[in-house]
Each structure stands twice: as structure tokens, then as C-alpha cells.
Amino acid sequence: MKKILVLMVALATAAFAADAEVANQTLKAYSMIAAGVGLGLAALGGAIGMGHTAAATIAGTARNPGLGGKLMTTMFIALAMIEAQVIYTLVIALIALYANPYLG
């Protein structure tokens, strides 16, 4: 935790500098950190959700093999919804990196 705090303070000192170019570079650095952390968390959450979905589908098919087809269809729809959330995060991260509205 202390390392993160030291990193943030070091980057904040450049943000408060009088030079606008240094401030822009610092904002770009923060955008890259935010994009990386956001994508990592989204991928982690999506992977956990997909794992739970697959486990529940397998358990349901094991209990009632006759419903396997319906469960698989429902699982694929759920996986598409989970993956859509990760793709939305990717779009936001790409906007933050390449079309950052906060850069002058």
C-alpha cells in the first residue's frame, strides 16, 4: 500500500507543475494506469462470472440430463452478457487512452 501511495505522490508532484506539457504527460500516465487496472478488474470479474455460470450449467445437466440443451442455450446467453460488460470496459479504456477528453 505504501508503494502505491508513494507512486501517486510522485505522479501528483508532476501534475502540480507549472508546465502544461508535464501536466498532460502526467494525465496520460494516469489514464494508462486507470485503463490497465480497469481492464484487469473487468477481466477478473468476467472470468469469475463465467466460471460460476459454467459450473452451474454442468451441475444442472448432471442433475437432469434431459434439460442439457436448454441449459446450454441459457448459459451461452449469460456468457454473452458477461462478456459484453468486459467489452464495454475495453471501449472505455480505449477512449481514455486514445481520445481522452481531459487532454487539452
Contact 33, 96 (CB under 8 A): no
| Owning domain of residue 92 | 27-104
Q: Does any domain span residue 7?
A: no
What CATH number has the domain bearing residue 88?
A: 1.20.20.10
What is the spatial distance between Cα 22 and Cα 27, in angstroms, rounded to a whole number?
Answer: 9
Q: Does any domain span residue 32?
A: yes
Q: Does any domain span residue 2?
A: no
Helix axes 20-63, 2-15, angle to 10 degrees: 140
CA 19, chain centre distance (Å): 32
Q: Does any domain span residue 67?
A: yes
What is the spatial distance between Cα 93 and Cα 95, in angstroms, rounded to a whole number?
Answer: 5
Q: Does any domain span residue 21?
A: no
Average pLDDT over residues 40-46: 93
Binned at pLDDT 50, 70 and 90, residue 14 comes out as low
- For the cut 60, the answer to whether the pLDDT of residue 18 exceeds it is no
Tell me the pLDDT tens digit for each residue of 24-33: 777 788 888 8
Binned at pLDDT 50, 70 and 90, residue 48 comes out as very high
